[in-house]
């Protein structure tokens, strides 16, 4: 095991523990503040395509963002994991409830139904991708869950604005990075959105 992999493993354990220790009421407040900050940001307002994860219970809740983006007329797409360890995004219909367009998929994550239209980032539409993770740093480093789905997807679209989505307590001094890890352009927390690149 390389030093980088060992360091990532330790950081994952620490951050998972920090997630577990977050009181439910505090998490709920943070979720609301984060959604509010993101939705009021210029980057959100100017993006035409929003690629956004469907949150697990311990992740920052993205449902308010998905609903608002659909109401705002944006192209909203959520990810589906494929057998070849890649990921594709499917567009949600604005005139249907989000929950009926999802079903439990890989790793217990709710994924879009297969018959929903597949969407790829279009540079002209100012696409933005909200990226989940366990830890982030202010140099664009991100600690994912270890499967590499997001890294493989983001690598294909260098023009795609990549924004981490997490409460500020999950920002650390430095995330150990490997050559295949994709650096992000900024982070959305309960404070105003920070952008470092692009």
pLDDT band at 183 (very low <50, low <70, confident <90, very high): very high
pLDDT at res. 77: 98
pLDDT at res. 116: 98
pLDDT at res. 20: 95
Report pLDDT digits (tens) over 103-116. Answer: 998 778 899 999 99
Closest by alpha carbon to 189, among 136, 111, 126?
Answer: 136
Strand 135-136 with 186-188, pairing:
unpaired
Which distant-in-sequence residues (6+ apart) come within 8 Å of 100 by Cβ?
Answer: none
pLDDT band at 196 (very low <50, low <70, confident <90, very high): confident
pLDDT band at 1 (very low <50, low <70, confident <90, very high): low
CA-to-CA dists, residue 18 to 32, 53, 112, 140, angstroms: 19, 21, 29, 21
């Amino acid at each position: 095991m390389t030093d980088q992999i060992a360091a990532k493993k330790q950081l994952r354990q620490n951050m998972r523990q920090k997630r577990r220790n977050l009181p439910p009421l505090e998490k709920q407040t943070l979720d609301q503040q984060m959604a509010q900050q993101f939705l009021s940001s210029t980057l959100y307002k100017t993006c035409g395509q929003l690629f956004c994860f469907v949150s697990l219970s311990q992740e920052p809740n993205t449902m308010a963002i998905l609903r608002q983006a659909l109401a705002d007329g944006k192209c909203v797409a959520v990810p589906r994991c494929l057998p070849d360890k890649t990921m594709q995004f499917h567009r949600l219909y604005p005139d249907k409830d989000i929950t009926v367009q999802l079903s439990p998929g890989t790793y217990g994550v709710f994924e879009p139904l297969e018959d929903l239209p597949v969407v790829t980032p279009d540079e002209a539409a100012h696409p933005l991708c909200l990226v989940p993770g366990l830890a982030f740093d202010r140099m664009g480093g991100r600690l994912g869950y270890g499967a590499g789905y997001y890294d493989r997807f983001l690598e294909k679209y260098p023009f795609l604005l990549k924004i981490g989505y997490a409460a500020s307590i999950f920002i650390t001094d430095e995330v150990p990075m490997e050559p295949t890890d994709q650096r992000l352009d900024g982070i959305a927390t309960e404070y105003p959105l920070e952008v470092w690149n692009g």
